């Protein structure tokens, strides 16, 4: 992603962060962040602070988006 418009297209998608020990924590992209293509994601409880600013894996669309 290179800009805010591309990042906005990902809102609602399910994402996963994998810890070094193999634990997977899921979240959802909530909004674009800034103008350079970054996104803000909301994760379930248990995400450590060391995970901030790391890359995550985009898995799928949110279920409400699939119906559109």
pTM: 0.75
Over residues 7-17, the pLDDT tens digits come to: 899 999 999 99
Cα–Cα distance between 31 and 12 in angstroms, integer?
A: 8
The domain ranges of the chain are 4-66
Q: What is the pLDDT of residue 61?
A: 66
Please give the chain's pLDDT, 68 residues, in tens: 788 988 899 999 999 999 889 999 999 999 999 999 889 999 998 889 888 888 888 987 655 554 44
- CATH topology assigned to domain 4-66: Thrombin, subunit H (2.40.10)
Q: What is the pLDDT of residue 51?
A: 87
Other CB atoms within a 10 A radius of the CB of residue 32 amount to: 21
Cα–Cα distance between 43 and 15 in angstroms, integer?
A: 9
């Amino acid at each position: 992603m290179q800009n805010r418009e591309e990042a906005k297209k990902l809102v609602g998608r399910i994402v996963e962060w994998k810890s070094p020990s193999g634990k997977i924590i899921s979240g959802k992209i909530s909004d674009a962040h800034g103008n350079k293509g970054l996104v803000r994601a909301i994760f379930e409880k248990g995400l450590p602070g060391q995970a901030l600013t790391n890359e995550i894996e985009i898995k799928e669309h949110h279920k409400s988006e699939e119906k559109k």
